[in-house]
Amino acid sequence: MSQPKIKRRVGKYEVGRTIGEGTFAKVKFARNSETGEPVALKILDKEKVLKHKMAEQIRREIATMKLIKHPNVVQLYEVMGSKTKIYIVLEFVTGGELFDKIVNHGRMSENETRRYFQQLINAVDYCHSRGVYHRDLKPENLLLDTYGNLKVSDFGLSALSQQVRADGLLHTTCGTPNYVAPEVLNDRGYDGATADLWSCGVILFVLVAGYLPFDDPNLMNLYKKISGAEFTCPPWLSFSARKLISRILDPNPVTRITITEILDDEWFKIDYKPPVFMEKAETSLNDVEAVFKDCENHHVTEKKEQQPTSMNAFKLISMSKGLNLENLFEDQGFKRETRFTSRSSANEIINKIEEAAKPLGFDVQKKNYKMRLANVKAGRKGNLNVSTEIFQVAPSLHMVELRKAKGDTLEFHKFYKNLSTCLEDVVWKTEDDMQTQETK
């Protein structure tokens, strides 16, 4: 028999395996218990966030993603907080990273690249129109859904337009070196929109070439190549693709191509389909404020539950005599234990037993799908104590074992007879059981 499984629940979400881990956050697969919808649950430790003075950046990430609803951007559903954690509920994207596709299959054809690049530009254009700049665009932050559509993720380094200084520029150097625009590296301020476009150009190059346009083990040499836009397009690229890449990877942000010009580019326009989607209604940031102000009345309940112990077929066969409800007696006398099966959930069974046992004068203690029922009144051989345990036979079938732990066996038998009449709606009756009942 295997050990009980621990099931963790945060609010209405059942939490599963870890699917990603970073410095300040862990991402777990979770499922909405009300709808069955899979989600990605980003979990942040409040103490770490405060210790490293990351609260404002995290708040910005959440606020940023709540502003965005676009088919090519990972959606943020809601934000929750407990005493120790911040939970960000995100769309679960199943197709993996675009980066993995390049690693596993090498460069892509221009047609396949174009489709992804069009979706990337659509997403970036939408974000920029709402004053949101990503600042860390790279293939690792581009996910694919089940249908192979691109989804931009990880706004941890994004900036809102409100953070632009009086000179109209952003001043934080961030991002991954190979994808960073020259003006970000020179530390004299930069425009978030043109910097994002440079990163899009590097991504376009990587997709069609299969390697980076700017790469060097020496960081200073790398910066020099980026600043001078020192790259060479591979010979298999079409003239129109080379022309577009050169216009995007222009080291001068003032003369660099704009999104409007990209949308009008001859290579880009081939088979282009503008995105069709519903605009998001006005976004409330109340849940974000509640999380960061640490309002206790907004804290989500966080609990760990153990699922019933699963039972293998051999163990079940060895106990098969006990599956018949009528089989409470043996030739040797009264049995000290009995079993029944049920299609109800484990929690429903526990609640029903508790509801039935208390009026019969029993105290109830529960732990990990095991129960201890103790009669408050002493019988012939002291207080009757009954142990119960629920086993999972199949996902929708449980076996319940009731065992006399202490007291008189005859009293146990009487107790079970009384209990069983209260449990009729949770006991699984076979067709034979139903026919037997009808003939009585």
Amino acid at 358: K
pLDDT given for residue 383 in this prediction:
85
- Residue 181 sits at the vertex; the CA angle it makes with 176 and 183, to the nearest 5 degrees, is 125
How sure is the predictor about 159, in pLDDT bands with cuts at 50, 70 and 90? very low
> Which of 62, 68, 86 lies closest to 11, judged by CA?
86
Handedness of CA 141, 146, 150, 152 (dihedral sign): negative
Q: What is the pLDDT averaged over residues 389-414?
A: 81
Q: What is the pLDDT averaged over residues 1-22?
A: 73
pLDDT given for residue 108 in this prediction:
93
Confirm if 176 and 195 have CB atoms less than 8 A apart: no
Confirm if 291 and 50 have CB atoms less than 8 A apart: no
Between 161 and 106, where is the model more confident?
106
Strand 85-91 versus strand 150-152 pairing type = unpaired
Confirm if 364 and 352 have CB atoms less than 8 A apart: no
Task: Find where tokens 């006398």 sit.
Answer: 333
Q: Which of 40-49, 172-181, 342-351, 398-407 has the lowest mean pLDDT?
A: 172-181
Strand 85-91 versus strand 382-394 pairing type = unpaired
DSSP-assigned states of every residue in 180-219: --HHHHTTS-B-HHHHHHHHHHHHHHHHHHSS-SS--SSH
pLDDT given for residue 292 in this prediction:
65
| Strand positions, DSSP E, 53-135 | 76-81, 85-91, 132-133
Q: What is the pLDDT averaged over residues 273-284?
A: 71
Hey, which of 28-32, 128-132, 283-287, 394-398 has the most confident mean pLDDT? 28-32
Q: Rounded CA gap, 328 and 333, in Å?
A: 10
Quick one: which H or E segment has residue 126? helix 110-129
pLDDT given for residue 307 in this prediction:
60
Quick one: which H or E segment has residue 115? helix 110-129
Please tell me the CATH superfamily of domain 94-278, with its number: Transferase(Phosphotransferase) domain 1 (1.10.510.10)
Task: Find where tokens 């920029």 sit.
Answer: 128
Q: Rounded CA gap, 66 and 132, in Å?
A: 11
Residue 63 scores a pLDDT above 80 = no
Distance linking the first and last C-alpha atoms of the chain: 38
Confirm if 310 and 391 have CB atoms less than 8 A apart: yes
Instruction: Categorise residue 45: left if φ over 0, alpha if ψ from -120 to 50, beta otherwise.
Output: beta
Q: Which residues of 400-412 are buried (b: 16+ CB within 10 A; e: fewer)?
A: bbbebbebbeebb
How sure is the predictor about 2, in pLDDT bands with cuts at 50, 70 and 90? very low
Q: What is the pLDDT of residues 257-272, one digit of tens each?
A: 999 999 999 999 999 9
Between 33 and 48, where is the model more confident?
33
How sure is the predictor about 291, in pLDDT bands with cuts at 50, 70 and 90? low
Task: Find where tokens 């221009």 sit.
Answer: 110
- Residue 82 sits at the vertex; the CA angle it makes with 78 and 88, to the nearest 5 degrees, is 25
Residue 56: what are its φ and ψ, rounded to 5°?
-65, -40
Beta carbons within 8 Å of 30's beta carbon, 6+ residues apart: 10, 13, 14, 15, 16, 38, 39, 40, 41, 89
Confirm if 199 and 181 have CB atoms less than 8 A apart: yes
- Give CA 340 to chain center in angstroms: 37
Q: Is 432 helix (H, G, I), strand (E, B) or coil?
A: helix
Q: Which residues of 117-134 are buried (b: 16+ CB within 10 A; e: fewer)?
A: bbbbbbbbbbbbeebbbb
Token pair for residue 347?
């929690």
Residue 332 scores a pLDDT above 50 = no
Q: Rounded CA gap, 367 and 305, in Å?
A: 9
Query: Which residues are annotated as catalytic?
Result: 136
Residue 32 scores a pLDDT above 70 = yes
Hey, which of 84-98, 162-176, 230-244, 396-410 has the most confident mean pLDDT? 230-244
Q: What is the pLDDT of residues 74-129, one digit of tens each?
A: 888 888 888 888 888 888 888 888 888 888 888 999 999 999 999 999 999 998 88
> Which of 382, 366, 363 lies closest to 374, judged by CA?
363
Q: What is the pLDDT of residues 44-56, one digit of tens each?
A: 888 877 777 777 7
pLDDT given for residue 22 in this prediction:
65
Residue ranges per structural domain of the chain: 7-92, 94-278, 309-439
Task: Find where tokens 């929109």 sit.
Answer: 193
Token pair for residue 55?
């609260």
Q: Which of 239-253, 293-307, 374-388 has the lowest mean pLDDT?
A: 293-307
Q: Is 306 helix (H, G, I), strand (E, B) or coil?
A: strand
| pTM exceeding the 0.85 threshold for the entire prediction | no
How sure is the predictor about 283, in pLDDT bands with cuts at 50, 70 and 90? low
Q: Rounded CA gap, 102 and 263, in Å?
A: 25
pLDDT given for residue 345 in this prediction:
84
Q: Could you tell me which CATH class the domain 309-439 is placed in?
A: alpha beta
pLDDT given for residue 269 in this prediction:
95
Q: Could you tell me which CATH class the domain 7-92 is placed in?
A: alpha beta
